[in-house]
Structure 1
Protein backbone atom coordinates (compact mmCIF):
# COMPACT_ATOMS: atom_id res chain seq x y z
CA UNK A 1 0.00 0.00 0.00
CA UNK A 2 1.44 3.37 -1.01
CA UNK A 3 2.04 5.51 2.04
CA UNK A 4 3.14 8.72 0.39
CA UNK A 5 2.98 10.14 -3.11
CA UNK A 6 3.31 13.77 -2.09
CA UNK A 7 6.10 16.31 -2.39
CA UNK A 8 9.10 16.00 -0.06
CA UNK A 9 7.88 18.87 2.13
CA UNK A 10 4.90 16.73 3.15
CA UNK A 11 6.86 13.53 3.72
CA UNK A 12 4.82 12.41 6.73
CA UNK A 13 1.42 13.42 5.47
CA UNK A 14 0.03 9.95 4.76
CA UNK A 15 2.79 7.96 6.32
CA UNK A 16 0.85 5.23 8.08
CA UNK A 17 -2.29 4.90 6.01
CA UNK A 18 -1.71 1.16 6.06
CA UNK A 19 -1.10 0.97 9.82
CA UNK A 20 -4.71 0.02 10.51
CA UNK A 21 -4.84 -2.69 7.87
CA UNK A 22 -5.41 -5.66 10.11
CA UNK A 23 -5.25 -8.21 7.28
CA UNK A 24 -1.50 -8.33 7.78
CA UNK A 25 -0.12 -9.91 10.93
CA UNK A 26 1.65 -7.31 13.05
CA UNK A 27 5.15 -7.67 14.45
CA UNK A 28 5.35 -8.36 18.18
CA UNK A 29 5.10 -4.88 19.76
CA UNK A 30 8.38 -5.33 21.66
CA UNK A 31 10.35 -6.34 18.53
CA UNK A 32 13.24 -4.14 17.40
CA UNK A 33 13.69 -5.19 13.78
CA UNK A 34 16.65 -4.66 11.50
CA UNK A 35 16.79 -5.26 7.78
CA UNK A 36 17.48 -8.91 6.94
CA UNK A 37 17.98 -7.99 3.28
CA UNK A 38 18.09 -4.46 1.85
CA UNK A 39 19.29 -2.79 -1.34
CA UNK A 40 20.03 0.92 -1.72
CA UNK A 41 20.49 2.45 -5.16
CA UNK A 42 20.55 5.92 -6.65
CA UNK A 43 17.12 6.71 -8.06
CA UNK A 44 16.96 6.90 -11.88
CA UNK A 45 16.77 10.51 -13.12
CA UNK A 46 13.51 9.79 -14.96
CA UNK A 47 11.79 8.09 -12.00
CA UNK A 48 8.40 9.71 -11.42
CA UNK A 49 7.11 7.77 -8.41
CA UNK A 50 8.14 8.96 -4.99
CA UNK A 51 7.24 7.83 -1.51
CA UNK A 52 7.26 5.26 1.26
CA UNK A 53 5.63 1.93 0.49
CA UNK A 54 4.74 -0.78 3.01
CA UNK A 55 3.25 -4.11 1.94
CA UNK A 56 3.32 -6.45 4.90
CA UNK A 57 7.04 -6.92 5.66
CA UNK A 58 8.18 -5.55 2.31
CA UNK A 59 9.45 -1.98 2.62
CA UNK A 60 10.25 0.23 -0.36
CA UNK A 61 11.35 3.84 -0.54
CA UNK A 62 11.13 5.43 -3.95
CA UNK A 63 13.13 8.52 -4.91
CA UNK A 64 13.66 9.65 -1.30
CA UNK A 65 16.37 11.97 -0.02
CA UNK A 66 18.43 11.24 3.07
CA UNK A 67 16.97 14.39 4.64
CA UNK A 68 13.42 13.06 4.24
CA UNK A 69 14.39 9.72 5.73
CA UNK A 70 15.98 11.46 8.73
CA UNK A 71 12.90 13.66 9.20
CA UNK A 72 10.60 10.66 9.38
CA UNK A 73 12.95 8.30 11.23
CA UNK A 74 13.45 10.76 14.09
CA UNK A 75 10.10 12.62 14.03
CA UNK A 76 11.65 16.03 13.54
CA UNK A 77 11.24 19.19 11.47
CA UNK A 78 13.70 19.80 8.60
CA UNK A 79 15.15 22.81 10.45
CA UNK A 80 16.15 20.50 13.31
CA UNK A 81 18.72 18.80 11.05
CA UNK A 82 21.85 20.96 11.02
CA UNK A 83 25.36 20.90 9.55
CA UNK A 84 24.39 18.36 6.88
CA UNK A 85 26.00 18.49 3.41
CA UNK A 86 23.85 19.81 0.58
CA UNK A 87 23.51 16.44 -1.14
CA UNK A 88 21.35 14.98 1.65
CA UNK A 89 18.43 16.98 0.22
CA UNK A 90 19.32 16.88 -3.49
CA UNK A 91 20.39 13.25 -4.06
CA UNK A 92 17.61 10.66 -4.26
CA UNK A 93 17.65 6.94 -3.53
CA UNK A 94 15.54 3.81 -3.92
CA UNK A 95 15.45 1.39 -0.99
CA UNK A 96 14.03 -2.14 -1.09
CA UNK A 97 14.21 -4.39 1.95
CA UNK A 98 12.68 -6.98 4.27
CA UNK A 99 13.05 -6.91 8.09
CA UNK A 100 14.40 -9.83 10.10
CA UNK A 101 11.16 -10.12 12.10
CA UNK A 102 7.91 -11.58 10.77
CA UNK A 103 4.88 -9.32 10.53
CA UNK A 104 4.09 -5.75 9.59
CA UNK A 105 5.98 -3.09 11.56
CA UNK A 106 4.18 -0.40 13.53
CA UNK A 107 5.22 3.27 13.38
CA UNK A 108 7.99 3.00 15.98
CA UNK A 109 9.38 -0.17 14.37
CA UNK A 110 9.29 1.43 10.92
CA UNK A 111 11.28 4.34 12.30
CA UNK A 112 13.73 1.96 14.00
CA UNK A 113 14.36 0.21 10.68
CA UNK A 114 15.12 3.49 8.95
CA UNK A 115 17.40 4.64 11.77
CA UNK A 116 19.43 1.45 11.32
CA UNK A 117 19.43 1.95 7.54
CA UNK A 118 20.78 5.49 7.90
CA UNK A 119 23.54 4.33 10.22
CA UNK A 120 24.58 1.18 8.38
CA UNK A 121 24.19 2.16 4.73
CA UNK A 122 24.73 5.93 4.84
CA UNK A 123 27.22 6.01 7.71
CA UNK A 124 25.07 8.59 9.48
CA UNK A 125 26.22 9.71 12.90
CA UNK A 126 24.53 12.61 14.68
CA UNK A 127 24.48 14.09 18.13
CA UNK A 128 21.80 16.07 19.88
CA UNK A 129 22.28 19.69 20.82
CA UNK A 130 20.29 22.81 21.60
CA UNK A 131 20.04 25.72 19.21
CA UNK A 132 18.22 29.00 19.71
CA UNK A 133 15.61 28.87 16.94
CA UNK A 134 12.19 30.28 16.09
CA UNK A 135 9.52 27.70 16.89
CA UNK A 136 5.81 27.28 17.55
CA UNK A 137 4.42 26.23 20.91
CA UNK A 138 1.33 24.04 20.59
CA UNK A 139 -1.02 25.11 23.38
CA UNK A 140 -4.64 24.75 24.49
CA UNK A 141 -6.70 27.93 24.05
CA UNK A 142 -8.86 29.32 26.88
CA UNK A 143 -12.06 27.28 26.95
CA UNK A 144 -10.32 23.95 26.38
CA UNK A 145 -10.03 21.43 23.58
CA UNK A 146 -12.90 20.72 21.18
CA UNK A 147 -12.27 17.02 20.54
CA UNK A 148 -12.80 13.82 22.51
CA UNK A 149 -10.79 10.83 23.62
CA UNK A 150 -10.77 8.02 21.10
CA UNK A 151 -13.54 5.46 20.86
CA UNK A 152 -11.06 2.85 19.61
CA UNK A 153 -9.66 0.17 21.89
CA UNK A 154 -6.06 0.01 23.04
CA UNK A 155 -5.45 -2.82 20.57
CA UNK A 156 -6.12 -0.61 17.54
CA UNK A 157 -3.18 1.16 15.93
CA UNK A 158 -3.43 4.92 15.31
CA UNK A 159 -4.77 6.00 11.94
CA UNK A 160 -4.08 9.22 10.09
CA UNK A 161 -5.41 10.07 6.67
CA UNK A 162 -5.92 13.10 4.53
CA UNK A 163 -6.62 14.53 1.13
CA UNK A 164 -6.40 17.89 -0.62
CA UNK A 165 -9.51 19.38 -2.21
CA UNK A 166 -10.61 22.47 -4.08
CA UNK A 167 -11.71 24.05 -0.82
CA UNK A 168 -8.65 23.12 1.25
CA UNK A 169 -6.82 20.31 3.02
CA UNK A 170 -8.57 17.76 5.25
CA UNK A 171 -6.79 15.50 7.74
CA UNK A 172 -8.43 12.94 10.02
CA UNK A 173 -6.74 11.56 13.13
CA UNK A 174 -8.08 8.50 14.97
CA UNK A 175 -6.64 6.99 18.15
CA UNK A 176 -3.85 9.56 17.89
CA UNK A 177 -1.62 11.27 20.42
CA UNK A 178 -0.37 14.83 20.21
CA UNK A 179 2.97 13.36 19.08
CA UNK A 180 1.17 11.67 16.18
CA UNK A 181 -0.49 14.98 15.36
CA UNK A 182 2.87 16.73 15.24
CA UNK A 183 4.67 14.05 13.24
CA UNK A 184 1.97 13.26 10.70
CA UNK A 185 0.23 16.62 10.63
CA UNK A 186 1.24 20.16 11.42
CA UNK A 187 4.99 19.61 11.81
CA UNK A 188 5.37 19.30 8.05
CA UNK A 189 3.06 22.17 7.14
CA UNK A 190 4.64 24.63 9.58
CA UNK A 191 7.62 26.78 8.65
CA UNK A 192 9.40 26.10 11.94
CA UNK A 193 9.59 23.30 14.53
CA UNK A 194 6.54 22.74 16.74
CA UNK A 195 6.90 21.95 20.45
CA UNK A 196 4.01 20.29 22.28
CA UNK A 197 3.05 22.27 25.38
CA UNK A 198 -0.54 20.98 25.68
CA UNK A 199 0.14 18.48 28.45
CA UNK A 200 -2.30 16.08 26.74
CA UNK A 201 -1.19 12.46 27.18
CA UNK A 202 -4.20 10.50 25.89
CA UNK A 203 -5.35 9.33 22.46
CA UNK A 204 -7.97 11.31 20.57
CA UNK A 205 -10.17 11.42 17.46
CA UNK A 206 -10.49 14.64 15.46
CA UNK A 207 -10.58 16.16 11.98
CA UNK A 208 -8.88 19.33 10.79
CA UNK A 209 -9.86 21.19 7.63
CA UNK A 210 -7.87 24.20 6.47
CA UNK A 211 -6.50 26.07 3.46
CA UNK A 212 -2.71 25.83 3.15
CA UNK A 213 -1.02 29.13 2.38
CA UNK A 214 0.18 27.92 -0.99
CA UNK A 215 -3.34 27.11 -2.22
CA UNK A 216 -5.24 29.95 -3.85
CA UNK A 217 -8.59 30.46 -2.16
CA UNK A 218 -11.54 29.51 -4.40
CA UNK A 219 -14.56 31.70 -4.83
CA UNK A 220 -17.28 31.20 -2.27
CA UNK A 221 -16.78 29.28 0.95
CA UNK A 222 -13.22 28.27 1.69
CA UNK A 223 -11.51 26.65 4.63
CA UNK A 224 -9.73 28.96 7.09
CA UNK A 225 -5.96 29.11 7.41
CA UNK A 226 -4.16 26.57 9.58
CA UNK A 227 -3.86 28.82 12.64
CA UNK A 228 -7.55 29.81 12.58
CA UNK A 229 -8.71 26.26 11.83
CA UNK A 230 -6.83 24.85 14.81
CA UNK A 231 -8.35 27.40 17.19
CA UNK A 232 -11.91 27.07 15.86
CA UNK A 233 -12.03 23.31 15.23
CA UNK A 234 -9.68 21.88 17.86
CA UNK A 235 -9.27 24.45 20.59
CA UNK A 236 -5.51 24.48 20.00
CA UNK A 237 -3.17 27.25 18.96
CA UNK A 238 0.30 27.67 17.53
CA UNK A 239 2.10 30.44 19.39
CA UNK A 240 5.19 31.82 17.66
CA UNK A 241 8.10 31.81 20.10
CA UNK A 242 11.86 31.53 20.09
CA UNK A 243 14.08 29.55 22.38
CA UNK A 244 16.27 26.48 22.82
CA UNK A 245 15.16 23.76 20.39
CA UNK A 246 16.47 20.19 20.17
CA UNK A 247 18.47 19.71 16.98
CA UNK A 248 20.37 16.81 15.42
CA UNK A 249 23.87 17.83 14.38
CA UNK A 250 25.20 15.72 11.51
CA UNK A 251 28.75 14.57 12.28
CA UNK A 252 29.23 12.19 9.33
CA UNK A 253 27.13 10.96 6.42
CA UNK A 254 28.15 9.45 3.09
CA UNK A 255 26.60 8.21 -0.11
CA UNK A 256 26.32 4.41 -0.12
CA UNK A 257 28.26 2.25 -2.50
CA UNK A 258 26.43 0.44 -5.29
CA UNK A 259 24.66 -2.81 -4.33
Structure 2
Protein backbone atom coordinates (compact mmCIF):
# COMPACT_ATOMS: atom_id res chain seq x y z
CA UNK A 1 0.00 0.00 0.00
CA UNK A 2 2.76 2.40 -0.92
CA UNK A 3 0.67 5.07 -2.59
CA UNK A 4 2.43 8.38 -3.07
CA UNK A 5 5.84 6.79 -2.71
CA UNK A 6 8.10 9.77 -3.05
CA UNK A 7 5.78 12.03 -1.11
CA UNK A 8 5.91 10.30 2.24
CA UNK A 9 8.38 11.44 4.83
CA UNK A 10 11.17 9.04 4.24
CA UNK A 11 11.66 5.77 5.37
CA UNK A 12 10.86 5.80 1.61
CA UNK A 13 13.17 7.81 -0.59
CA UNK A 14 13.36 8.58 -4.04
CA UNK A 15 12.36 13.83 -8.03
CA UNK A 16 15.27 16.02 -6.93
CA UNK A 17 16.84 18.31 -4.44
CA UNK A 18 14.89 21.29 -3.23
CA UNK A 19 17.92 23.54 -3.06
CA UNK A 20 20.24 24.06 -6.02
CA UNK A 21 23.13 25.15 -3.83
CA UNK A 22 22.89 21.93 -1.79
CA UNK A 23 22.97 19.91 -5.01
CA UNK A 24 26.10 21.62 -6.26
CA UNK A 25 28.08 21.28 -3.03
CA UNK A 26 29.92 17.99 -3.47
CA UNK A 27 32.77 18.78 -1.08
CA UNK A 28 32.63 17.23 2.40
CA UNK A 29 31.28 19.40 5.19
CA UNK A 30 33.46 20.58 8.06
CA UNK A 31 30.70 19.68 10.53
CA UNK A 32 30.91 16.24 12.11
CA UNK A 33 29.15 14.07 14.65
CA UNK A 34 30.71 14.17 18.10
CA UNK A 35 30.77 10.33 18.22
CA UNK A 36 29.52 7.91 15.56
CA UNK A 37 29.40 4.13 15.10
CA UNK A 38 28.76 2.47 11.72
CA UNK A 39 27.85 -1.23 11.52
CA UNK A 40 26.37 -3.37 8.74
CA UNK A 41 22.89 -4.59 9.68
CA UNK A 42 21.08 -7.61 8.23
CA UNK A 43 18.50 -7.80 11.01
CA UNK A 44 15.07 -6.20 11.35
CA UNK A 45 14.83 -2.62 10.16
CA UNK A 46 14.89 0.01 12.90
CA UNK A 47 13.11 3.33 12.27
CA UNK A 48 15.28 6.47 12.18
CA UNK A 49 15.37 9.32 14.67
CA UNK A 50 13.64 11.50 12.08
CA UNK A 51 12.67 11.24 8.41
CA UNK A 52 15.73 11.33 6.15
CA UNK A 53 13.73 13.20 3.55
CA UNK A 54 14.41 16.05 1.14
CA UNK A 55 11.71 18.15 2.76
CA UNK A 56 11.94 20.09 6.04
CA UNK A 57 10.12 17.62 8.29
CA UNK A 58 12.18 17.22 11.46
CA UNK A 59 11.55 15.54 14.79
CA UNK A 60 14.37 16.87 16.96
CA UNK A 61 16.29 13.88 18.42
CA UNK A 62 18.01 16.10 20.99
CA UNK A 63 21.45 15.14 19.74
CA UNK A 64 20.82 11.39 19.52
CA UNK A 65 20.89 10.30 15.88
CA UNK A 66 20.02 6.82 14.67
CA UNK A 67 19.30 5.44 11.21
CA UNK A 68 19.37 2.03 9.52
CA UNK A 69 19.57 2.51 5.74
CA UNK A 70 21.74 1.78 2.73
CA UNK A 71 24.49 4.24 1.74
CA UNK A 72 22.29 5.30 -1.17
CA UNK A 73 19.71 6.67 1.26
CA UNK A 74 22.35 8.40 3.36
CA UNK A 75 23.75 10.05 0.22
CA UNK A 76 20.32 11.27 -0.85
CA UNK A 77 19.72 12.63 2.66
CA UNK A 78 23.10 14.35 2.98
CA UNK A 79 22.89 16.03 -0.43
CA UNK A 80 19.15 16.72 -0.24
CA UNK A 81 18.36 14.63 -3.32
CA UNK A 82 14.94 13.50 -4.48
CA UNK A 83 15.73 11.42 -7.56
CA UNK A 84 13.68 9.89 -10.34
CA UNK A 85 14.21 6.16 -10.88
CA UNK A 86 16.27 6.92 -13.99
CA UNK A 87 18.48 9.41 -12.14
CA UNK A 88 18.91 6.98 -9.26
CA UNK A 89 20.03 4.25 -11.66
CA UNK A 90 22.50 6.64 -13.30
CA UNK A 91 23.95 7.59 -9.91
CA UNK A 92 24.43 3.92 -8.97
CA UNK A 93 25.53 2.67 -12.41
CA UNK A 94 29.24 2.36 -11.58
CA UNK A 95 29.13 1.31 -7.91
CA UNK A 96 28.74 -2.13 -6.27
CA UNK A 97 25.23 -3.41 -5.50
CA UNK A 98 25.77 -3.16 -1.75
CA UNK A 99 25.57 0.64 -2.00
CA UNK A 100 21.83 0.32 -2.73
CA UNK A 101 21.03 -2.82 -0.75
CA UNK A 102 23.25 -3.22 2.32
CA UNK A 103 21.88 -1.43 5.37
CA UNK A 104 24.27 0.19 7.83
CA UNK A 105 23.21 0.99 11.37
CA UNK A 106 24.51 4.43 12.31
CA UNK A 107 24.39 5.63 15.93
CA UNK A 108 25.77 9.10 16.56
CA UNK A 109 25.67 12.03 18.93
CA UNK A 110 25.42 15.65 17.86
CA UNK A 111 24.92 19.05 19.49
CA UNK A 112 21.43 19.29 20.97
CA UNK A 113 20.89 22.47 18.95
CA UNK A 114 21.53 20.71 15.61
CA UNK A 115 19.02 21.36 12.83
CA UNK A 116 18.08 18.99 10.02
CA UNK A 117 20.50 20.76 7.70
CA UNK A 118 23.21 20.39 10.37
CA UNK A 119 22.57 16.64 10.37
CA UNK A 120 22.86 16.66 6.58
CA UNK A 121 26.24 18.37 6.86
CA UNK A 122 27.45 15.92 9.52
CA UNK A 123 26.30 13.01 7.35
CA UNK A 124 28.35 14.41 4.43
CA UNK A 125 31.44 14.32 6.64
CA UNK A 126 30.68 10.79 7.89
CA UNK A 127 30.18 9.51 4.33
CA UNK A 128 33.50 11.02 3.26
CA UNK A 129 35.44 9.76 6.28
CA UNK A 130 33.90 6.33 6.87
CA UNK A 131 32.76 5.33 3.36
CA UNK A 132 35.42 7.22 1.40
CA UNK A 133 32.63 8.81 -0.60
CA UNK A 134 33.60 11.08 -3.44
CA UNK A 135 30.98 12.46 -5.80
CA UNK A 136 30.44 15.31 -8.18
CA UNK A 137 27.54 16.89 -10.04
CA UNK A 138 27.25 17.17 -13.81
CA UNK A 139 24.98 19.70 -15.52
CA UNK A 140 23.19 18.12 -18.47
CA UNK A 141 20.56 19.31 -20.92
CA UNK A 142 17.78 16.76 -20.43
CA UNK A 143 14.16 16.27 -21.48
CA UNK A 144 11.93 17.13 -18.52
CA UNK A 145 8.29 17.77 -17.76
CA UNK A 146 7.31 21.31 -16.83
CA UNK A 147 4.60 21.70 -14.21
CA UNK A 148 2.24 24.48 -15.36
CA UNK A 149 -1.21 25.66 -14.34
CA UNK A 150 -4.19 24.40 -16.32
CA UNK A 151 -5.61 27.94 -16.10
CA UNK A 152 -3.02 30.71 -16.03
CA UNK A 153 -2.74 32.35 -12.62
CA UNK A 154 -5.38 30.11 -11.04
CA UNK A 155 -4.44 27.05 -8.96
CA UNK A 156 -6.90 24.21 -8.42
CA UNK A 157 -9.39 23.96 -5.53
CA UNK A 158 -7.09 21.81 -3.38
CA UNK A 159 -4.01 24.02 -3.76
CA UNK A 160 -4.25 27.13 -1.59
CA UNK A 161 -1.79 29.78 -0.37
CA UNK A 162 -0.57 28.84 3.08
CA UNK A 163 -1.53 32.22 4.57
CA UNK A 164 -5.17 31.42 3.75
CA UNK A 165 -4.98 28.05 5.50
CA UNK A 166 -4.41 26.84 9.03
CA UNK A 167 -1.37 28.24 10.89
CA UNK A 168 1.49 25.83 11.52
CA UNK A 169 1.33 26.29 15.28
CA UNK A 170 -2.12 24.67 15.39
CA UNK A 171 -2.86 20.95 15.39
CA UNK A 172 -3.74 19.84 11.84
CA UNK A 173 -7.46 19.56 11.19
CA UNK A 174 -8.92 16.16 10.16
CA UNK A 175 -8.03 15.46 6.55
CA UNK A 176 -5.05 17.83 6.71
CA UNK A 177 -1.31 17.30 7.13
CA UNK A 178 1.56 18.71 9.16
CA UNK A 179 3.47 21.71 7.94
CA UNK A 180 6.66 20.99 5.96
CA UNK A 181 5.94 17.22 5.93
CA UNK A 182 4.66 15.16 3.00
CA UNK A 183 2.32 12.39 4.11
CA UNK A 184 -0.32 9.98 2.85
CA UNK A 185 -3.08 7.91 4.44
CA UNK A 186 -6.11 5.84 3.39
CA UNK A 187 -9.23 7.79 2.50
CA UNK A 188 -12.84 6.84 1.78
CA UNK A 189 -13.88 4.20 -0.78
CA UNK A 190 -10.43 2.68 -1.15
CA UNK A 191 -8.84 5.98 -2.13
CA UNK A 192 -5.68 7.51 -0.73
CA UNK A 193 -5.08 11.09 0.31
CA UNK A 194 -1.70 12.80 0.26
CA UNK A 195 -0.61 16.33 0.96
CA UNK A 196 1.43 18.84 2.87
CA UNK A 197 1.20 22.33 4.33
CA UNK A 198 3.61 25.26 4.09
CA UNK A 199 5.47 23.65 1.21
CA UNK A 200 7.09 25.10 -1.91
CA UNK A 201 6.23 24.61 -5.55
CA UNK A 202 9.66 23.05 -6.14
CA UNK A 203 8.84 20.34 -3.61
CA UNK A 204 5.36 19.90 -5.09
CA UNK A 205 7.09 19.32 -8.45
CA UNK A 206 9.16 16.60 -6.78
CA UNK A 207 5.97 15.15 -5.32
CA UNK A 208 4.18 15.16 -8.69
CA UNK A 209 7.13 13.44 -10.35
CA UNK A 210 7.36 10.75 -7.69
CA UNK A 211 3.63 10.07 -7.64
CA UNK A 212 3.22 9.88 -11.40
CA UNK A 213 6.39 7.80 -11.61
CA UNK A 214 5.01 5.38 -9.02
CA UNK A 215 1.91 4.99 -11.18
CA UNK A 216 4.11 4.30 -14.20
CA UNK A 217 2.78 7.39 -15.97
CA UNK A 218 6.09 9.26 -16.38
CA UNK A 219 9.80 8.71 -15.89
CA UNK A 220 11.20 12.23 -16.40
CA UNK A 221 12.13 14.91 -13.91
CA UNK A 222 9.34 17.39 -13.15
CA UNK A 223 10.30 21.06 -12.77
CA UNK A 224 8.16 23.95 -11.57
CA UNK A 225 7.03 26.43 -14.21
CA UNK A 226 3.76 27.50 -12.57
CA UNK A 227 4.96 30.99 -11.67
CA UNK A 228 3.55 30.51 -8.15
CA UNK A 229 5.75 31.68 -5.29
CA UNK A 230 5.63 31.45 -1.51
CA UNK A 231 4.27 28.60 0.61
CA UNK A 232 1.28 26.41 -0.25
CA UNK A 233 -1.08 23.89 1.34
CA UNK A 234 -2.53 21.04 -0.69
CA UNK A 235 -4.28 17.70 -0.58
CA UNK A 236 -4.94 15.31 -3.43
CA UNK A 237 -7.06 12.14 -3.46
CA UNK A 238 -6.54 9.29 -5.93
CA UNK A 239 -6.96 5.52 -6.17
CA UNK A 240 -3.91 3.37 -5.41
CA UNK A 241 -1.90 2.37 -8.49
CA UNK A 242 -2.84 -0.92 -10.16
CA UNK A 243 -0.41 -3.73 -9.25
CA UNK A 244 -0.29 -6.98 -11.21
CA UNK A 245 -2.13 -8.16 -14.33
CA UNK A 246 -5.36 -8.91 -12.46
CA UNK A 247 -5.54 -5.63 -10.54
CA UNK A 248 -8.58 -3.46 -11.30
CA UNK A 249 -7.96 -0.46 -13.51
CA UNK A 250 -8.11 2.75 -11.40
CA UNK A 251 -11.10 5.00 -12.00
CA UNK A 252 -8.69 7.85 -12.78
CA UNK A 253 -4.95 8.35 -12.85
CA UNK A 254 -2.62 10.25 -10.57
CA UNK A 255 -2.04 12.92 -13.21
CA UNK A 256 -5.80 13.32 -13.70
CA UNK A 257 -6.22 13.76 -9.93
CA UNK A 258 -3.42 16.33 -9.86
CA UNK A 259 -4.92 18.17 -12.85
CA UNK A 260 -8.46 18.31 -11.45
CA UNK A 261 -7.62 18.95 -7.79
CA UNK A 262 -4.42 21.01 -7.94
CA UNK A 263 -5.00 22.65 -11.32
CA UNK A 264 -1.62 21.41 -12.55
CA UNK A 265 -0.67 19.76 -15.82
CA UNK A 266 2.64 18.66 -17.32
CA UNK A 267 4.17 19.60 -20.66
CA UNK A 268 7.36 18.36 -22.31
CA UNK A 269 10.36 20.66 -22.47
CA UNK A 270 14.12 20.61 -21.86
CA UNK A 271 16.17 22.01 -19.01
CA UNK A 272 19.67 21.92 -17.57
CA UNK A 273 19.67 19.53 -14.63
CA UNK A 274 22.41 18.81 -12.12
CA UNK A 275 22.99 15.06 -11.76
CA UNK A 276 25.00 13.38 -8.98
CA UNK A 277 27.76 10.97 -9.98
CA UNK A 278 29.55 8.76 -7.46
CA UNK A 279 33.30 8.62 -8.14
CA UNK A 280 34.35 6.40 -5.24
CA UNK A 281 32.85 4.56 -2.24
CA UNK A 282 34.08 1.69 -0.06
CA UNK A 283 32.62 -0.40 2.75
CA UNK A 284 33.52 1.09 6.13
CA UNK A 285 35.35 -0.79 8.83
CA UNK A 286 32.92 -1.79 11.58
CA UNK A 287 33.25 0.37 14.70
Q: TM-score range by the shorter chain?
A: 0.7 to 0.9
Cα RMSD for the two superposed structures: 3.5
Tell me which residue corresponds to 1:26: none
Tell me which residue corresponds to 2:87: 80
Report deviation, 1:227.
0.7
CA distance in 1, matches of 2:46, 2:182: 19
Instruction: Determine helix, strand or coil for the equivalent of 1:188.
Output: helix
Residues 175 and 204, structure 1, Cα contact 8 Å, conserved in 2: yes
Alignment partner for residue 148 of structure 1, among 157, 160, 185? 160
Instruction: Determine helix, strand or coil for the equivalent of 2:34.
Output: strand
Scaled by the length of structure 2, what TM-score is found? 0.67
Tell me which residue corresponds to 2:181: 159
Q: Which blocks of at least 5 consecutive residues in structure 1 are unaligned?
A: 1-5, 17-31
Q: How many pairs are equivalent?
A: 232
Residues 65 and 93, structure 1, Cα contact 8 Å, conserved in 2: yes
Tell me which residue corresponds to 2:41: 43
Q: Deviations over 1:75-95 (max 9, x none)?
A: 230533534403221222111
Tell me which residue corresponds to 2:105: 94
CA distance in 2, matches of 1:167, 1:252: 45
CA distance in 2, matches of 1:122, 1:256: 5
Is the alpha carbon distance of 1:154 and 1:170 closer, same or farther for their aligned partners in structure 2, counting shifts above 3 Å?
A: closer
Q: Deviations over 1:143-168 (max 9, x none)?
A: 52122211455889623322256723
* Most deviating of 247-256 and 129-138: 129-138
Aligned ranges 1:101-140 → 2 under 5 Å: 101-103=111-113, 105-106=115-116, 108-140=117-149
Return the structure number with greater helix share.
2
Report deviation, 1:218.
8.2
Aligned ranges 1:242-253 → 2 under 5 Å: 242-253=270-281
Aligned ranges 1:64-79 → 2 under 5 Å: 64-73=69-78, 74-78=80-84, 79=86
Instruction: Determine helix, strand or coil for the equivalent of 1:117.
Output: helix
Tell me which residue corresponds to 1:29: none
CA distance in 1, matches of 2:208, 2:149: 15
Residues 13 and 188, structure 1, Cα contact 8 Å, conserved in 2: no
Report deviation, 1:228.
0.8
CA distance in 2, matches of 1:12, 1:119: 28
Is the alpha carbon distance of 1:135 and 1:164 closer, same or farther for their aligned partners in structure 2, counting shifts above 3 Å?
A: farther
Return the structure number with greater strand share.
1
Q: Which blocks of at least 5 consecutive residues in structure 2 are unaligned?
A: 12-29, 51-60, 171-178, 214-218
Scaled by the length of structure 1, what TM-score is found? 0.73
Tell me which residue corresponds to 2:15: none
Alignment partner for residue 59 of structure 1, among 49, 59, 65? 65
Tell me which residue corresponds to 2:204: 181
CA distance in 2, matches of 1:89, 1:243: 28
